[in-house]
């Protein structure tokens, strides 16, 4: 059996020696399984490609280098890895050792039991409290509005069978959330809890802005609820304005109210209507812009170069 390890990398030269050492330790204990580590270089500016080329081939563990022409993002890099993976099973993990390679053994055990998808569930995270709060809030908000919920606190770290990986890799959508697509395709799935450590070395290149963009991709790409919320917001503001105008009319006609008073309330209502209109327009704009970029039909990523540690092609 051939197992592909898809590892997106972006300026991870400091972590590669330690990652490779731990992968060698895991794979050496599985002598009946062949492994290919598919490193997808997502536009690194350091010596990450050179560090990968210098990795020693060890027994049943080889490497494949897929260099993208520029930085296309984490989810696009994972997709590129899936398209270049040849294994009967595909394991996804990051290069910073926050995804313990030792869990690959458990993933493969469940795969051999008939599971098409085995994913890691993060129980403890070595990250700032505010970031953990944001992650927890996102997962719960996503599941509250998504057509198909995803397991709570489950990231991309996990295993897919070849058929599931190829199905997801062939999906043409640009706004990709692999864990959401993984849940959508179905098949037999199971989660394995684990403690997520901190980075081995260096700092993350996954900025707050990129995280927010990824959250928007998930919320707007997998749910119709935001567009319906804009309808609810507009209807609510319209209803409140109607009630206010009705009460003003009754007060003027039956209780001798002064029709010239109330400019403050009128301005407030104007701002409310304008704000509700802007919110609704922005939500519609999110969907329209995504449809616009999807309609261009540009590739999700561009491969500049590939290399393999052995000229021997793996069995497909």
Residue 314: what pLDDT? 45
Residues sharing a CB contact under 8 Å with residue 106, sequence separation 6 or more, in sequence order: 118, 192
Instruction: Report the candidate in 216, 130, 222 with the shortest Cα–Cα distance to residue 182.
Output: 222
Over 60: is that where the pLDDT of 75 sits? yes
* DSSP category for residue 101: G
SS3 250: helix
Tens of pLDDT, residue by residue over 121-151, are: 888 766 666 666 676 676 676 666 666 667 7
What's the CA dihedral at 279, 280, 286, 289 to 10 degrees?
A: -120
pLDDT in tens, 11-58: 888 889 888 888 988 888 888 889 999 999 988 888 888 889 888 887
CB 234 within 8 A of CB 276: yes
């Amino acid at each position: 059996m051939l197992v592909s390890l898809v590892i997106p990398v972006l300026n991870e030269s400091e972590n590669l020696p330690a990652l490779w050492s731990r992968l060698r330790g895991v794979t050496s204990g599985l002598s009946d399984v062949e492994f290919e580590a598919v490193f997808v270089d997502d536009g690194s500016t350091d010596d990450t490609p050179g560090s990968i080329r210098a990795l020693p081939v060890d027994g049943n563990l080889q490497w494949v280098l897929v260099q993208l022409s520029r930085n296309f993002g984490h989810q696009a890099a994972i997709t590129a890895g899936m398209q270049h993976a040849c294994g009967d099973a595909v394991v996804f993990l990051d290069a910073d050792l926050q995804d313990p390679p030792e869990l690959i053994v458990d993933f493969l055990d469940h795969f051999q039991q008939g599971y098409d998808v085995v994913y890691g569930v993060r129980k403890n995270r070595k990250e700032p409290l505010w970031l953990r709060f944001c992650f927890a809030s996102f997962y719960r908000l996503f599941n509250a509005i998504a057509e198909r919920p995803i397991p709570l606190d489950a990231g991309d770290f996990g295993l897919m069978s070849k058929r599931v990986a190829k199905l997801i890799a062939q999906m043409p959508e640009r706004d990709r959330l692999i864990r959401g697509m993984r849940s959508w395709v179905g098949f037999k799935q199971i989660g394995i809890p684990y403690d997520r450590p901190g980075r081995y070395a260096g700092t993350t290149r996954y900025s707050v802005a990129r995280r927010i963009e990824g959250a928007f991709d998930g919320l707007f790409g997998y749910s119709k609820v935001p567009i319906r919320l804009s309808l609810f917001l507009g209807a609510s503001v319209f209803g409140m304005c109607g009630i206010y105008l009705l009460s003003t009319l009754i007060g003027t006609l039956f209780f001798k109210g002064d029709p010239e008073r109330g400019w403050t309330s009128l301005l407030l209502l104007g701002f409310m209507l304008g704000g509700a209109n802007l919110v609704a327009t922005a939500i519609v704009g999110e969907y329209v812009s995504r449809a616009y970029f999807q309609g261009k039909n540009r590739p999700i990523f561009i491969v500049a170069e590939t290399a393999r540690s052995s000229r021997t092609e793996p069995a497909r």
